[in-house]
Amino acid sequence: MNGRKALVRDYRDRKVEAGIYAVRCAASGEAWVGATPDLATRQNGIWFSLRHGGHSEASLQAAWATHGEAAFSFEALEAIDDENLGPLGKSSLLKERRAAWIETLNARGLNR
């Protein structure tokens, strides 16, 4: 098996961990909290949309434009054990935990 096929197989076979994350701006002290079915890949998606000026959260995009990429960090706040939950239960738990973290950190919410 060639290297590319092995990488694809390993990616497909990896354990996906759902959870809650925060994007923080060190320069402004702001934080944004979101929930995702895959913590390992979420930062890449957020950074990609921010770099291209297309993130759906206007306040995050504005802070990125003002302070630059170096001022931002991504932090996994909580992993969710969702093995025994169906899709609806998983979604509800992610929403509940996201809301709790938004309140705890006095942060803004992200849709994803």
Residue 30 located in a structural domain = yes
Structural domain boundaries enclosing 73:
16-109
Residue 35 located in a structural domain = yes
What are the pLDDT digits (tens) for 61-82? 999 999 999 999 999 999 988 6
Side-chain-side CA neighbours of 92 within 13 Å: the count stands at 5
Question: In the chain, pLDDT over 90 holds for what percent of residues?
Answer: 71
What pLDDT is stored for residue 58 in this prediction?
96
Residue 1 located in a structural domain = no
Residue 7 located in a structural domain = no
**Which CATH number belongs to the domain containing residue 62 in this structure?**
3.40.1440.10
What pLDDT is stored for residue 55 in this prediction?
95
What are the pLDDT digits (tens) for 99-112? 999 999 999 999 75
Residue 37 located in a structural domain = yes
> Exposed, middle or buried, 61 (CB in 10 Å: 0-12/13-18/19+)?
middle
Residue 2 located in a structural domain = no
Do residues 40 and 16 touch, judged by C-beta distance below 8 A? yes
Residue with tokens 């995702």, as numbered in its chain: 36
Residue 3 located in a structural domain = no
Strands of the 72-80 sheet, one edge to the other: 72-80, 18-25, 31-36, 108-109
Residue 55 located in a structural domain = yes
Note the pTM of the prediction, 2 decimals.
0.84
Q: How many domains does the chain have?
A: 1
Do residues 36 and 18 touch, judged by C-beta distance below 8 A? yes
